[in-house]
Amino acid sequence: MGGSVWRELASTAGRARRVALGAAVCALVASAVAACEEERPVAKDPLCDLVVGISLERQYSSQLPDQTIALTFDDGPGDRTAELSAYLRDQAAPSAFFINGGNVEGRETVVRGIVSDGHLLANHTQTHAGLDVLFTEKGATAIVDEVAATDRIINQFQPGARPLFRPPFGRWDASVHKALRDSSMNKYFGPVYWEMGDALTPTTAADWDCWDAAGNGQRTLEECSDLYLVEIRSKRRGVVLMHDGPPGGANDRTVDMVKRIVPILKAEGFKFVRVDELDLAPVTVPEAGTFGTTLTPPSDPCATKSRPLSWDYVPFNTKHVNPCGPALLRRRGLSACVLSQGCR
Ligand SMILES: [Zn+2]
């Protein structure tokens, strides 16, 4: 669905906007800090000539249209992923599956089904290793290998998909960022985080913890479903975190929960979008260094000079000036850049 819209935006309209943006970008360059950092290799997005890259800052999307959510499923493919994928297809709820490549062998048909059902494959590493720990123990190469191995699998099943990355356990730091940024895996956008499904509390949900007898969990299917509904109804928009793996674990209960909550949400008017399509809507910009805090984009999207953005983490779907010109990137020593709706 909207993938084609994104492609079109990125190639045609994006090109037109970049021309129109020339003056604004030049003004920015002229006023940019002169100190040039070392030039890093910059990756081209496979679908357009925008420069993309992994970001140090965690990426959120919390300003979707009201009652619009993006379901994401981590740690699969699992034992019931095929059932989940087909169900979501039938419900017209395209979703994203952040897979661990190590789970794919023997489940190739399942992965093929995820794609043919209209969902997105995204990268959650090969073995679900905590990348910060892996960096300490084995260094940068091991981190790149974790992402690259799953990247090869995704390319095999869904070539040309927008490359999105989410780190296992959400664990992310400067060392892990630098390892990926300085590698060919800098083609990924992310780290993609979530607004809902983060923690099990009296008013919020976390499926893995619902099913985990050793954690806060041991919730019934109904209790956990109700908590997701409470949180989604309260926040009304954004990315929802759930799990469909790993195989052999308890997270396959999430499939039953999805079957319970999706019809309810649809009846209440909620819409479902794929997380790679979120650039079609303006979003709230996370404040640098403050987890989860949000800023409203300025009403004049071209008024960036009055608003000191950290370019290194400009989210992929803001209304700010597109800072993705390669020259501007090099000038500012940036690796991360993203699609922007730009100025008109
Ligand atoms: Zn995970």
- pTM confidence score: 0.70
Under the banding of pLDDT at 50, 70 and 90, the label for residue 120 is: very high
Around ion ligand 1, residues with a beta carbon closer than 5 Å are 74-75, 168
pLDDT, tens digit, for every residue of 130-181?
999 999 999 999 999 999 999 999 999 999 888 899 999 999 888 999 999 9
pLDDT above 70 as % of the chain: 64
Dist. CA 320 → ligand 1 center (Å):
31
How much distance in Å is there from the Cα of 146 to the middle of ligand 1? 13
Distance between Cα 171 and ligand 1 center (Å) = 10
What's the 22 CA to ligand 1 centre distance in angstroms? 41
- Tell me how far the alpha carbon of residue 207 lies from the centroid of ligand 1, in angstroms: 12
Give distance in angstroms: CA of 192 to centre of ligand 1. 12
Residue 307, pLDDT above cutoff 60: no
* DSSP per-residue string spanning 288-321: TTSTT-EEPPPSSTTGGGGS---GGG--TT-SS-
Whole-number Å distance between alpha carbons of 143 and 129: 9
Q: What is the whole-number distance in angstroms between the Cα of residue 291 and the centre of ligand 1?
A: 19
Q: Report the separation in Å between the CA atom of 2 and the middle of ligand 1, taken as the mean of its atom positions.
A: 26
Tens of pLDDT, residue by residue over 257-285, are: 999 999 999 999 999 999 887 643 333 33
Bridge partners (DSSP) listed for residue 98: 74, 122
- Per-residue pLDDT at 159: 92
216: number of Cβ within 10 Å: 12
Kindly give the distance from the C-alpha atom of residue 243 to the centroid of ligand 1, in angstroms, as a whole number.
7
Q: Which amino acid is at 86?
A: A
Q: Has residue 29 got a pLDDT over 50?
A: no
Give me the CATH topology for the region 68-276.
Answer: TIM Barrel (3.20.20)
In the chain, CATH 3.20.20.370 sits at 68-276
Most confident of 16-30, 102-116, 209-223: 102-116
CB contact set of 265 (below 8 Å; sequence gap of 6+) = 69, 229, 232
Radius of gyration of the chain (CA): 20
Residues 228-235 have a mean pLDDT of 95
